């Protein structure tokens, strides 16, 4: 109880910060949009954001329901072009400063959250003051009411969540496209420098054989043997390239056996445990295969490990892969490009890699791919039958009180049309007619709103977590 009073006192004390900031904001907006002193805008907005964020955090901590910030992700730093310039719209700059400033300006001014913050700053002191009686009488209830207000004005909206998700998807798509392009280049180089060159050599040797076959059959025979050896080497080379593109055992047997084959080829003693109800999609299988391959070879190469365990399991639609080894530990995703490569590969499937590798070992790498397996996701997103029935009932009947018994009856009443017909309200004695008509309209609208709210609440519970990329820490 006493703690609640303390918390509410802190909230009220923050009005002391809000008031000067309100004045500051008014002055800044005025200077920015009338005198064009645009350089004041960004620090002011960031200061308001910090204050708003403080409120979000305090209220979230005290009520136990965190309030997500609605801000759009900051723009990425400007990219240097091939000619060494930085582009902003149709202008080129030699330093990244101006394009970065332009991006930032656009980011702040186009984000609705900036204006919601301003609105909050304007109204919040008044709301706090208005709530003071409630704060004094029922501090717990008062804090909850205030939390609703903060969530309403400062909380994440569906649009801000979607914006976050879009930018997350864009980032992972870019990463996937980049790593795919790099793969293609590597394959092209392998084929160009290796296979193609060797085939040219074989063709030339065969040409020489054609010339020699009549005049010097022995030399021709020797050349033929050489051509045969070269074709053998070409095949070895080609096999290596194919293994790098898509390992044949993966195509023939699927993930479980491909990982078992990996385990057999590893110098470590590897135990493999695979428990999957379905085969994942081929790209997911390949990503997991290469990740496990990389982790096992890391363990053998750097970690000085002797045994390792690979565990692949499904949890609903989530594919979880754990690779543990008894090596020296100390693996760091930030330092090793191998681990970063795995992260990039997994990011294309919304997957994450967590490495726990204390010095001295053991090392545990856990990969999770959230939507890798079919089936389970569809089932989870279906509303319970009881709720569906309720929503159908509400939608199916709400029209009756709203329109014929409510609005239409009201119109008949206003224009004093003759027939009472089947309008319940008009059959009653005069003093009860208006209350019944208005009651009908209220009932109908309530039913509509209730139906909408059930669906909205359900969607928020089941879809919102997936729409918040920063909640997963990437």
Partner 1 sequence: MLRVLVAEDLYLLREGLVHLLQAHGCMVVGAVETGPELLKGLLELRPDVSIVDVRLPPTFTDEGLQAALEARRQVPGLPVLVLSQHVEQLYARELLADGSGAIGYLLKDRVFNAAQFIDAVRRVAAGGTVMDPEVIAKLLASNARHEPLAGLTPREREVLEAMAEGRSNAAISQRLYLSESAVAKHTASIFTKLGLAPSEDDNRRVLAVLAYLNSR
Please report, as ranges, the residues that interact with partner 1 according to CB under 8 A.
Answer: 228, 231-232, 235-236, 239, 242-243, 248-249, 251-253, 257, 260-261, 264-267, 269, 306
Q: What is the token pair recorded at 271?
A: 């135990």
Q: What is the token pair recorded at 298?
A: 């890391």
Cβ-count burial of 373 within 10 angstroms (0-12 exposed, 13-18 middle, 19+ buried)?
Answer: buried
Closest approach, Cβ 252 to partner 1, in A, equals 4
Closest approach, Cβ 54 to partner 1, in A, equals 57
| Residue found under tokens 């979230």 | 60
Cβ-contact 289, 255 below 8 angstroms: yes
Closest approach, Cβ 373 to partner 1, in A, equals 20
- Cβ closest to partner 1, residue 254 vs residue 333: 254
Closest approach, Cβ 264 to partner 1, in A, equals 4
Closest approach, Cβ 268 to partner 1, in A, equals 8
- Cβ closest to partner 1, residue 221 vs residue 228: 228
If you ran DSSP here, which 8-state letter would residue 374 be given?
S
- Cβ closest to partner 1, residue 212 vs residue 256: 256
Sign (positive or negative) of CA dihedral 383, 467, 370, 357: negative
Beta strands 318-325 and 269-275, pairing class: unpaired
- Cβ closest to partner 1, residue 242 vs residue 407: 242
- Cβ closest to partner 1, residue 306 vs residue 387: 306
- Cβ closest to partner 1, residue 44 vs residue 293: 293
DSSP string for residues in 96-134: SHHHHHHHHHHHHHH-HHHHHHHHHHHHHHHHHHHHHHH
Q: In 261-306, which ranges are E strands? A: 269-275
Closest approach, Cβ 337 to partner 1, in A, equals 25
Closest approach, Cβ 392 to partner 1, in A, equals 45
CA dihedral 278, 283, 289, 295 (to 10 degrees): -120
Q: Taking the CB of residue 222, how many other CB atoms lie within 10 A of it? A: 13
- Cβ closest to partner 1, residue 48 vs residue 270: 270
- Cβ closest to partner 1, residue 192 vs residue 239: 239
Closest approach, Cβ 109 to partner 1, in A, equals 57
| Residue found under tokens 């656009």 | 106
Closest approach, Cβ 175 to partner 1, in A, equals 30
- Nearest partner of 11 among 131, 97, 109, judged by Cα: 131
- Cβ closest to partner 1, residue 253 vs residue 302: 253
Closest approach, Cβ 235 to partner 1, in A, equals 5
- Count how many residues are written for the chain: 474
List beta partners, residue 93: 86
List beta partners, residue 274: 312
- Nearest partner of 168 among 353, 333, 350, 368, judged by Cα: 350
Closest approach, Cβ 52 to partner 1, in A, equals 58
CA dihedral 6, 10, 15, 21 (to 10 degrees): 180
Number of alpha helices (DSSP H) and beta strands (DSSP E) in the chain: 18, 7
Cβ-count burial of 39 within 10 angstroms (0-12 exposed, 13-18 middle, 19+ buried)?
Answer: exposed
- Cβ closest to partner 1, residue 296 vs residue 436: 296
- Cβ closest to partner 1, residue 292 vs residue 447: 292
The Cα–Cα gap between 172 and 347 comes to 6
Closest approach, Cβ 308 to partner 1, in A, equals 12
Cβ-contact 164, 73 below 8 angstroms: yes
- Cβ closest to partner 1, residue 44 vs residue 234: 234
Residue 65: strand, helix, or coil: coil
Beta strands 86-88 and 91-93, pairing class: antiparallel
């Amino acid at each position: 109880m006493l703690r609640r009073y303390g918390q509410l006192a802190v909230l009220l004390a923050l009005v002391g910060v809000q008031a000067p900031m309100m004045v500051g904001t008014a002055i800044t907006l005025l200077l920015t949009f009338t005198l064009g002193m645009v350089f004041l805008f960004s620090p002011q907005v960031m200061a308001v954001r910090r204050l708003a964020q403080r409120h979000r955090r305090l209220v979230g901590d005290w009520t136990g329901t965190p309030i997500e910030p609605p801000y759009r992700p900051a723009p990425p730093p400007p990219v240097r072009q091939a000619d060494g310039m930085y582009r902003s719209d149709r202008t080129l700059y030699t330093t990244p400063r101006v394009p970065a400033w332009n991006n930032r300006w656009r980011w702040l001014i186009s984000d609705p959250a900036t204006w919601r913050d301003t609105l909050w700053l304007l109204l919040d002191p008044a709301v706090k003051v208005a709530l003071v009686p409630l704060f004094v009488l029922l501090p717990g209830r008062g804090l909850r009411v205030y939390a609703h207000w903060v969530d309403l004005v400062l909380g994440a909206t569906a649009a801000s969540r979607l914006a976050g998700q879009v930018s997350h998807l864009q980032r992972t798509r870019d990463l996937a496209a980049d790593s795919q392009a790099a793969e293609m280049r590597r394959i092209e180089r392998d084929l160009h420098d290796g296979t193609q060159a060797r085939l040219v050599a074989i063709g030339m040797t065969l040409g020489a054989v054609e010339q020699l076959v009549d005049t010097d059959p022995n030399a021709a025979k020797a050349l033929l043997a050489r051509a045969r050896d070269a074709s053998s080497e070409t095949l070895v080379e080609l096999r290596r390239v194919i293994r790098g593109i898509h390992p044949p055992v993966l195509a023939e047997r699927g993930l479980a056996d491909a990982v078992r084959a990996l385990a057999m080829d590893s110098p470590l003693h590897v135990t493999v445990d695979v428990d999957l109800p379905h085969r994942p999609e081929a790209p997911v299988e390949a990503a997991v295969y290469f990740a496990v391959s990389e982790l096992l070879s890391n363990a053998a190469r750097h970690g000085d490990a002797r045994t390792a365990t690979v565990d692949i399991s499904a949890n609903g639609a989530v594919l979880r892969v754990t690779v543990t080894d008894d090596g020296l530990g100390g693996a760091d995703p930030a330092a090793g490009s191998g681990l970063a490569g795995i992260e990039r590969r997994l990011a294309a499937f919304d997957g994450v890699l967590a490495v726990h590798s204390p010095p001295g070992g053991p090392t545990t790498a856990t990969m999770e791919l959230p939507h890798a397996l079919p089936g389970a996701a569809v089932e989870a997103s279906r509303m319970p039958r009881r709720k569906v029935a309720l929503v159908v009932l509400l939608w199916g009947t709400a029209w009756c009180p709203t329109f014929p018994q409510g609005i239409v009856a009201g119109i008949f009443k206003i224009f004093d049309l003759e027939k009472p017909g089947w309008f319940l309200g008009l059959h009653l004695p005069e003093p009860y007619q208006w209350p019944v008509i208005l009651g009908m309209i209220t009932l109908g609208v309530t039913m509509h709103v209730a139906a909408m709210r059930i669906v909205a609440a359900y969607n928020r519970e089941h879809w919102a977590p997936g729409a918040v990329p920063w909640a997963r820490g990437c």
